[in-house]
Amino acid sequence: MLTVVGPVLDNNKTVWSANSVFSGYVTDFKANKVLIDAAAQGGNIITTGATQDKINAAEAAFDFGSKLSKRASVYALEQDNSEMHDQMRVSKGSLSQLADSKASIKLHDIYDRMMAIGEGLSPFVSAEELTRFKALIDAYDKLLSRPRELTVNRKVHNEDLPELIQASRKLLYKLDSLINLFDGTEFEADYLNARRIVNTGSRKAPVNEATPSSN
């Protein structure tokens, strides 16, 4: 399911990246795949160093967070608040230079400051985008602690995996419903072909592919 659709999305990034709604769900889909890969690896994740999974999760959170922070910093300028501007604005590069724990703290700080502004920020950053940002931060945080958790209890991964897979199915349902935004493009054709491959190999549970769980 994930390995077939993922490359199609990667190869057509220039096509869908300009659409904020579709792009947001792709970001969520990729972040969730990082967690699934980590859970599936189970006890093999024993290093406290920077694994590729953690790097991918960090890149997703840093990239989206820096985009939102730039918009939020404009709100601060509109309020003639230079201190807020400096607190809000952060680049992807500066986040990547921080230690893991400090990067997480900075991401949470930016998110908390945006949430504190409330509805006034909505012309610059939507509530949906804030929810997505928090999910990416949580995905990053989960991978920071995952190696230590595995040494204590591998059972956690077996419990996480079904829930993560179900979350990916829900995201695919949303992407399936939005793919006609690119009607007639090579991207749409490639995506639909990839989904047909997935559905052909998953005939035992076609309902799950067609509609998301209500939970």
Number of domains in the chain: 1
Closest of 32, 3, 26 to residue 179, by C-alpha:
26
pLDDT score at 165:
87
In a domain, 103, yes or no: yes
Least confident residue range of 136-150, 183-197, 200-214: 200-214
Q: Identify the band that residue 49 occupies on the pLDDT scale cut at 50, 70 and 90.
A: very low
Mapped to the 3 state alphabet, what secondary structure does the chain carry?
Answer: CHHHHHHHHHHCHHHHCCCHHHHHHHHHHHHHHHHHHHHHHHHHCCCCCCCHHHHHHHHHHHHHHHHHHHHHHHHHHHCCCHHHHHHHCCCHHHHHCCCHHHHHHHHHHHHHHHHHHHHHHCCCCCHHHHHHHHHHHHHHHHHHHHHHHHHHCCHHHHHHHHHHHHHHHHHHHHHHHHHHHHCCCHHHHHHHHHHHHHHHCCCCCHHHHHCCCCC
In a domain, 176, yes or no: yes
pLDDT in tens, 162-176: 888 898 899 999 999
pLDDT score at 175:
95
Residue 205 has pLDDT above 80, yes or no: no
pLDDT score at 48:
46
CB 202 within 8 A of CB 1: yes
pLDDT score at 154:
52
The whole-number average pLDDT for the span 137-164 is: 68
Q: State whether the Cα torsion 78-79-81-87 is positive or negative.
A: negative
The structure tokens 């986040």 sit at 95
User: Residue 183 sits in which domain range?
Assistant: 2-45+52-210
Residue 213 has pLDDT above 70, yes or no: no
In a domain, 215, yes or no: no
The structure tokens 């985008």 sit at 129
Q: Identify the band that residue 37 occupies on the pLDDT scale cut at 50, 70 and 90.
A: confident
Arithmetic mean of pLDDT over the chain: 83
In a domain, 61, yes or no: yes
In a domain, 68, yes or no: yes
pLDDT score at 95:
93
pLDDT score at 1:
57
Residues of the chain with pLDDT > 70: what percent?
A: 79
pLDDT score at 11:
94
pLDDT score at 145:
62
Which residues are CB-neighbours of 182 under 8 A, at least 6 positions away?
A: 15, 16, 188, 191
